[in-house]
A and B are shown apart, each in its own frame.
Chain A
Amino acid sequence: MAAINITNVSKIYAGGVEAVKSVSIDIADGEFIVLVGPSGCGKSTLLRMVAGLEAISRGTVEIGDRVINDVEPAERDIAMVFQNYALYPHMTVYNNLAYGLKNRGTPKAEIDARVAEAARMLEIEQYLTRKPRALSGGQRQRVAMGRAIVRKPAAFLFDEPLSNLDAKLRVSMRGEIKQLQKRLGTTSLYVTHDQLEAMTLADRLVVLNGGQIEQIGRPLDVYHTPASTFVASFIGSPAMNLLRGTREGTQLHFGSQVLDLGRAPAFPGPVTVGIRAEDLRIASTGEPSLTLKVEYIEELGAQRLVHGTVDGKKLTASLSPEIGISETLSLSIAPERLHFFDADTGKRLAQPFDASATKRETAQTLEMAAG
């Protein structure tokens, strides 16, 4: 077990393409970090540089105070779980688990004990004599996990380990990975493009975009105070509504529609306003509101997603299924629930209604409740 320090790491491919641009992340011992972003954002490249499968063009990676830039992958004291499991097809499950240990000269008795322990933990004991091809996708994934666990490495690296599984299995394996990591307390670096996986697994998540870090933070902090419009639209489902508007006095103008905030925000002129779907509610009479022209509805059971347009711009509201739906809806939102982003750079602006403070409190309360 060890801390991982990634300092100003860049990946520049032949031809000058910069896939990762000076990324720095400090991972504490035992922490579960999730790298999340769309495909091509450099998250896998970053993970593979830590693993030693890609050369580090610039910067340093330290695992437990040891710079491992030029250390062989097998010597880095890490174990990796691959997307397509990467089990050795010609070896039995037992040998798949034992292979790494055998190569390190671990005594036979110790290997047996560790494999047995990992197999018990993952409930794959009855498959130890089988070849991988005789296993289902979920079982293979467990074997791949087992191969990482038996090594007792300083860190686990996960490269989209659940994306080859079906939806139901993915959810249950997600829970198991989280529990297992908690129990073993091994520092973990996990790559995914699935924001839900990132939210549920991470102690802290790192949102990457175009090879750069957009935001690092605890999942709820990232959710409630996204640092940019990119993070706002990437984290959370349905994605945060982003509307371009202009402030005039105490009012926000969205084309022909006007939302009166009652107070005047500090920034002038054009602004991108972020609204979480679940923060919208049906306005009571006389309350400042936006008119949503309903286009279609998605029933999720617990909520109902209402998709429509506000002055021609798309907006999604998450409403209770009990609320009747007409062709147009008047929706209101508490001003402190609004997110403001710079209209040009997309960066988060200082929140005029001191919303972040209240939200951080809510976040903490929620985490305490969860913990």
Chain B
Amino acid sequence: MTNTTTSQALSGTMAAPGPGGFWRILGLNKSASKPPEETDAKRVQFSSRLLPYLFLAPQMAIIFIFFYWPSVQAIQSSFYLEDPFGFGSTFVGTANYTDVLKSGEYLGIARFTAVFTALVTFFSLSIGLLLAVKADGVIRGNATYKTLLIWVYAIAPPVAGLMGMMMFDQHIGPLVKVAAFFGWDMKVGLNYNDTAFAMIVVSVWKQIPYNFIFFLSGLQGIPVSVREAALMDCRSGLRRFWTVILPLLAPTAFFLLIINTTYALFDTFGVIDVMVKDKAANNPITLVYKVYMDGFRGNDLGGSSAQSVILMIIVFVLTIFQFRFIERRVHYN
């Protein structure tokens, strides 16, 4: 549910920057990218005053039923101790919150989540950008190249997790064999760090194509003549990249930063689930997985609700931070 918080915030504010075509594909608010006078000129006249509200109703209903209502429910139940069998609930005040925040286990998971999110975001962004820059330079056979890089995105997270598990399997995993060659006895599912490593690798791998598509389209949105002007003004390709290409990619990069942070926090659930389910208890998990574990495995709905409220606040603060301090440096065309 917290996932919805960010995506709702995004669809409203993020529609203006970045490559136009994608917004339409994603179904995000495309009218926001038009200059206001144009929207005014094309404003639709309705015969009935009720009609526009009627058109809005399905969207409003979805937001209300799947976001506001569960959010309110979560906040409410975070103050109660729920009976595991649904026979009643007791008001416990902020006890759920203090329990969670005092728990060393929870803080450990929070720390891992922070590291995991930072690493996954950093690597999926930078590798996606690197591949996009390279693909942008390819002239011959670039369609094939792009397709090969993009198709991974079509894989569902649990399937990606499963494929990742196979790659890191104790007996048949090729990556384990490669690691063994370098003297690394990798034990994914048993060793905490090895599992963390595998989780990060699979999560990054899964997200690269998404970033690749956006970066590539962002790169192709940079006018050829501006690149050529830079070519005449600056000899070093690396310097050109830092001073001209990257600043012009900033709107795309900023959008991806938020999307990737959200991805690492929430959408890696499937990958993590496949990797740690039915394994020894000492495996790294992220906060959202902990919410699921406590709520649906441990049947502690109150504690789990408190955790999800905390998560909601974290994402809220993070998003505000990103908009206030990073977006300021972004130049929109």
CB-nearest residue of chain A relative to B233?
Answer: A100
Given the known interface contacts A83-B225, A84-B223, the answer about A51 and B232 at a Cβ–Cβ threshold of 8 Å is: yes
Query: Is the CB of B244 closer than 8 A to any CB of chain A?
Result: yes
CB of A99 within 8 A of chain B?
yes
Chain B residues closer than 8 Å to A99, beta-carbon distance:
233-234, 243
In the docked arrangement, what's the CA distance between A53 and B230, Å? 11
Are A74 and B248 touching (Cβ within 8 A)? no
Q: A89-B331, A90-B247, A133-B333 are in contact. Are A84 and B225 (CB under 8 A)?
A: yes
**In the complex, B49 has a CB within 8 A of chain A:** no
Taking CB as reference atom, which chain A residue is nearest B229?
A86
> When the two chains form the complex, which single residue of A74, A83, A87, A147 contacts B231, counting CB atoms closer than 8 Å?
A74
Most buried by A among B231, B239, B250: B231
| Chain B residue with Cβ nearest A79 | B232
Task: Check if A100 sits within 8 Å of B225, measured CB to CB.
Answer: no
Cβ–Cβ contact A86 & B223, under 8 A: yes
Is A100 a contact partner of B232 (Cβ separation < 8 A)? yes
Q: Residues of B contacting A199 with CB < 8 Å?
A: none
Residue A72 CB within 8 A of the other chain: yes
Residue of A nearest to B244 (CB): A88
Q: Mark B223-260, 1 if CB is under 8 A from A, else 0.
A: 10110111111111001000110011010000000000
User: At the interface, yes or no: A110 with Cβ under 8 Å from chain B?
Assistant: no
The main secondary structure of chain B at its interface with chain A is helix
Is B331's CB under 8 angstroms from A80's CB?
no
> A73 near B: Cβ within 8 Å?
yes
Which one, B232, B233, B239, B331, contacts A90 given CB within 8 A? B331
Q: How large is the interface on B (under 10, 10 to 19, 20 to 34, 35 or more residues)?
A: 20 to 34
A74 touches B225 (CB 8 A): no
Shortest CB–CB separation between residue B30 and chain A, in angstroms?
21
Q: Is the beta-carbon distance between B333 and A86 smaller than 8 angstroms?
A: no
Q: Chain A CB within 10 Å — which of B231, B232, B248 has the most?
A: B232
Q: A103 touches which one: B225, B233, B331 (CB < 8 A)?
A: B233
B-chain residues with CB within 8 Å of residue A88 when the two chains form the complex: 226, 229-230, 244
A103 touches B231 (CB 8 A): no
A147 proximity list for chain B (CB < 8 A): 229, 233
A35 within 8 A of B: no
Q: Compute how far the CA of A84 lies from the CA of B226 in the bound complex, rounded to whole angstroms.
A: 9
14 A–B pairs (Cβ distance < 8 Å), ordered by A: A51-B228, A52-B231, A72-B235, A73-B232, A74-B232, A74-B234, A74-B235, A82-B228, A86-B229, A88-B226, A88-B229, A100-B233, A103-B233, A133-B333
In the complex, the 4 A-B pairs of residues with the closest C-beta atoms, listed nearest first: A86-B225, A100-B233, A90-B331, A74-B235
4 further A-B contacts with Cβ under 8 Å, apart from A79-B232, A84-B225, A88-B244, are A52-B231, A53-B231, A74-B232, A74-B234
The residues of B with any CB-CB pair to A shorter than 8 Å are 223, 225-226, 228-236, 239, 243-244, 247-248, 250, 331, 333
